[in-house]
Structure 1
Amino acid sequence: MKTYQTYLFDFDYTLADSSRGIVICFRNVLERHGFHQIDDHTIKRTIGKTLPESFSILTGITDTDILEAFRKEYVKEADQHMTVNTQLFPETGKVLHSLKNNGATIGIISTKYRYRILELVGKVFPEGFFNIIVGGEDVKTPKPSPEGLNIAIERLQTDKATTLYIGDSTVDAETARNAGVDFAGVLHGMTTREELAVYPHVSIADTLEELAE
């Protein structure tokens, strides 16, 4: 795989495993409203989508006011449960430090809120380690809209031809395609190699270490 100047990462299931915290938060909200039969696997398959999208998929509800109320309840749950139940993947620190040491620009583009990402990475990385973090509150249209990637590319004044977006889901792959940047898939999450391979990609790897080689 060629060397890029800028490496932009999804967060959940790409740099970190926050699935335990996510499941707890979803389950607490869902159980509160009478949705008792939704299993963990089904919840995990929605990771990477916006909270209203995920709640709609899980419950069949389409009323925007109800979905917004669920979203607000989830955020309150996440304030309590998310950080303590999120861990970076074992190779994340090594790979990111290696990229930085080699002069690369690195950032995060996620549907997760930026303040939550900062709270999580602040436990491991020094302040200012990431050149940019674009979270869900920073865009008008969430992934697979290219808005987040385009914001990062513009602010970093980098070239799309030398930018790689790394993610675990088909939403991430579609986002990269819509932005016109290369995509590399990592199989940390619930999306299979076959599902990712449908989309344009330069690599699909089991771990981030393989992508950095």
Structure 2
Amino acid sequence: MYSAYIFDFDYTLVNSEEGIAMCFDMLFADEGYAPVPRPEIYATIGMPMYEAMAKLTGEKNSERILELIHLYKIRYSDFYMVSNTHLYEDAKSTLQFLTEKGASCYIVSSKTRSRIQETIVKENLTAFIHGIIGVEDVQTPKPSPEGIKLLCRRYNIVPNACLYIGDSTIDAQTAVNSGIDFAAVTTGVTPATAFANFPHIKIMQHLQELTTLL
């Protein structure tokens, strides 16, 4: 058993696709962009926001991309994201199980820490999440190892004692870059086959499979 379990957020602990897609839909309509099919939006979940916005809009101008990100937050995400973000059915029980076994659970995500914290409070997970590193805490987002390394320093975590759990190849590469073990979960849009070429200790269909690693 590991002493620390570090989770990605979107598509790993929660399904936020409805909230994310809704906010993008409204932004694109209000700012004069063509509608984007939902699967294309879902495929950007987990990317750094700058990269996702550039990909979905086709914008090349960095100032405009940053403006769109700001509008996305203040017009839409601040109002609609948390209410349209839903915890996976086995997430809370898995976190509780790991905590009761003496492990600590953390989140490292390309989402903002403040938005993650809102969901943690809404879903009554405060007792099971011991620390969060969001995109505002780092200079370079995943797959940079900066977030995980910051978490390890802040909470005195030994890298070989922790496991990173995520749903995307970005998460898998983050674990490689950070020098820590990785377990994939296929609750997002990335198929199990995509993880074959990345080091991993397990490819799971559901988070509760973590309890079998003890």
Is the TM value for this pair above 0.5? yes
CA deviations over 1:154-187 (Å, ceiling 9, x no partner): 1111111111000001111111100000010000
2:41 matched residue in structure 1: 43
Structure-2 change in CA distance of 1:126 and 1:199 (3 Å): closer
1:112 matched residue in structure 2: 111
SS in 1 for 2:68: helix
- RMSD after superposition: 1.1
CA deviations over 1:52-108 (Å, ceiling 9, x no partner): 110111122121101101100111211111011011000000000000000001100
Equivalences for residues 69-84 of structure 1 within 5 A? 69-76=67-74, 77-84=76-83
1:63 matched residue in structure 2: 61
Deviates more, 1:151-160 or 1:121-130: 121-130
1:12 matched residue in structure 2: 10
SS in 1 for 2:165: strand
Point out where structure 2 has 5 or more consecutive residues left out of the alignment.
none
SS in 2 for 1:120: helix
Contact 1:52 1:70 in 2 (8 A): no
1:25 matched residue in structure 2: 23
Q: What TM-score does the superposition give when structure 1 sets the normalisation length?
A: 0.96
Per-residue deviation, 1:35 = 2.4
Per-residue deviation, 1:28 = 1.2
Equivalences for residues 1-213 of structure 1 within 5 A? 3-76=1-74, 77-125=76-124, 127=126, 129-213=128-212
Aligned length: 211
Per-residue deviation, 1:14 = 0.1
CA–CA separation in structure 2 for the residues paired with 1:90 and 1:127: 17
Q: What TM-score does the superposition give when structure 2 sets the normalisation length?
A: 0.95
Read off the aligned partner of 1:67 and give its amino acid letter.
Answer: I
